[in-house]
Amino acid sequence: MSILITGGTGFIGSHTVVELIEAGETPIIVDNLSNSKEIVLDRIQTITGIRPKFYKADLCDMTALDTVFAENPDIESVIHFAGLKAVGESVSLPLQYYYNNLVSTLNLCECMKKYGVKNLVFSSSATVYGDPAEIPIKETTPLGQTTNPYGETKKMIERILVDVHKPNPDWSISLLRYFNPVGAHESGLMGEDPKGIPNNLFPFVTQVATGRRPYLSIFGDDYDTHDGTGVRDYIHVVDLARAHLCALKRARKVTGVEVYNIGTGHGYSVLDIVKAFEEATGKKVPYKVVARRPGDVATCYADAAKAKEVLGWEAEFDMVAMCRDADRWQTMNPNGYDA
Ligand code: NAD
Ligand code: UD1
């Protein structure tokens, strides 16, 4: 049996494909390469010894997606990573974000229905909690106001999937709300490869530490946190990848829609990260404090107890591993996947 991995050449998808192969599963990747590169397949092959089947196709193209299902009647589950994810870009290109993220998901569900595939794991985000009503955030914490189209697509897709489940009660749908995925594969062969200036903290820090950028801008030091800088729940991407295997295992046994926070349950401030990174790598991270970034919240970290109790999953890698692996990836690949 095969597992369809949409967005499987992307950051989280590629790490999940490696974990799946190492667990003896057979992933099939579909990705339009809008935010990833085909060379990722070489890296997966180098790490695992296996080159997964790959379709370069856009999920918004129903004919192309139907072909993937038609040619692979043994697909039994889907992990749906494909989507556009840059918050700032979503504000300037709202139509593109709503179209891509929603139409791709609708097409995927149509194909799953047509071909009798009933297990779906979806990449949601802690962004659906908005400015969280409580900390740590539980799955029962009310959803909040999103501040950008990207975040709204995650909320809308969660709702769509809940509605799709109603007339299809034998489906199993897992909504995984990721906190802040960081780090890289320990081989240094796979990692995060953002286009242009990174929006997220970790890639920015690694680019500063390796001299690609002069300093980190810290977005505000006047939040109500232990040192005034924003607090987040950073999770190693390999831990996150493994959470998908646990969700898949459960999806094969139960039906329903289930929501899980996927984080470590620990909050680190921006200054904590700078210090941890410098200690783990021995590299300096010069920084300047600048104005707050619009839309940022002060504190966001998970109560990850449900994933542990129900999925039997919990994060294993600590902050030292996250910093060390992110730095190794950046050092071995100063220009990401570009030679
Ligand atoms: P990514 O951009 O590295 O991977 C997404 C992949 O989807 C890319 O390879 C891209 O080419 C592909 N894609 C996009 N639209 C497509 C389409 N219409 N058809 C086919 N392929 C398409 O992003 P990632 O960091 O690996 O994130 C994976 C998922 O997790 C996304 O849905 C993202 O929103 C979600 N998520 C990510 C984070 C994070 O911080 N990285 C946090 C929460 C949720
Ligand atoms: C951001 C997105 C969120 C998305 C998540 C993961 C916004 C408003 N939110 O969240 O929707 O799900 O990424 O992709 O963009 N920081 C700096 N300097 C930097 C970069 C970040 O100080 O150059 C700070 C931020 O203010 C924040 C922390 O570092 O306090 C983490 O930022 P980031 O990595 O962008 O993640 P989120 O803000 O959690």
Ligand 1 binding pocket mutation candidate from 5, 12, 89, 95 (most atoms within 8 A of CB):
12
The rounded distance, in Å, linking the Cα atoms of 196 and 216 is: 15
pLDDT tens by residue, 277-325: 999 999 999 999 999 999 999 999 999 999 999 999 999 999 999 999 9
Token pair of 145 as six digits = 């106001």
Which residues are part of the catalytic machinery?
A: 150
Token pair for residue 290? 């600048």
Beta bridge mates, 290: 219
Tell me which of 31, 120, 127, 260 to substitute to probe ligand 1's pocket, judged by most ligand atoms within 8 Å of the beta carbon: 31
* Ligand 1 near 58 CB (within 6 A): yes
Whether the CB of 151 sits within 6 Å of ligand 2: yes
Query: Residue 22 C-alpha to ligand 1 middle, in angstroms?
Result: 22
Tokens 């370069």, residue located: 56
Spatial distance between the Cα atoms of 65 and 89, rounded to a whole number of angstroms: 26
Q: Which of 36, 35, 334 is nearest to 208 (CA)?
A: 334
Q: Is 305 helix (H, G, I), strand (E, B) or coil?
A: helix
User: What is the C-alpha to C-alpha distance for residues 260 and 306, in angstroms, rounded to an integer?
Assistant: 7
User: CA triplet 242, 98, 64: central angle to 5 degrees?
Assistant: 70
* The residue to which tokens 């300037």 are assigned: 92
- For 60, phi then psi, to 5°, come to -75, -15
Report whether residue 35 contacts ligand 1, using a CB cutoff of 6 Å. Answer: yes
Q: For residues 171 and 307, what is the distance between their CA atoms, to the nearest angstrom?
A: 20
How far is residue 168's CA from residue 154's CA, in Å, rounded to a whole number? 21
Angle, helix 104-115 to helix 149-165, in steps of 10 degrees: 20
User: Two tokens at 312?
Assistant: 């039997």
Distance CA 217, CA 290 (A): 6
**Each residue's pLDDT expressed in tens, for the chain with a length of 339 residues:** 999 999 999 999 999 999 999 999 999 999 999 999 999 999 999 999 999 999 999 999 999 999 999 999 999 999 999 999 999 999 999 999 999 999 999 999 999 999 999 999 999 999 999 999 999 999 999 999 999 999 999 999 999 999 999 999 999 999 999 999 999 999 999 999 998 899 999 999 999 999 999 999 999 999 999 999 999 999 999 999 999 999 999 999 999 999 999 999 999 999 999 999 999 999 999 999 999 999 999 999 999 999 999 999 999 999 999 999 999 999 999 999 997
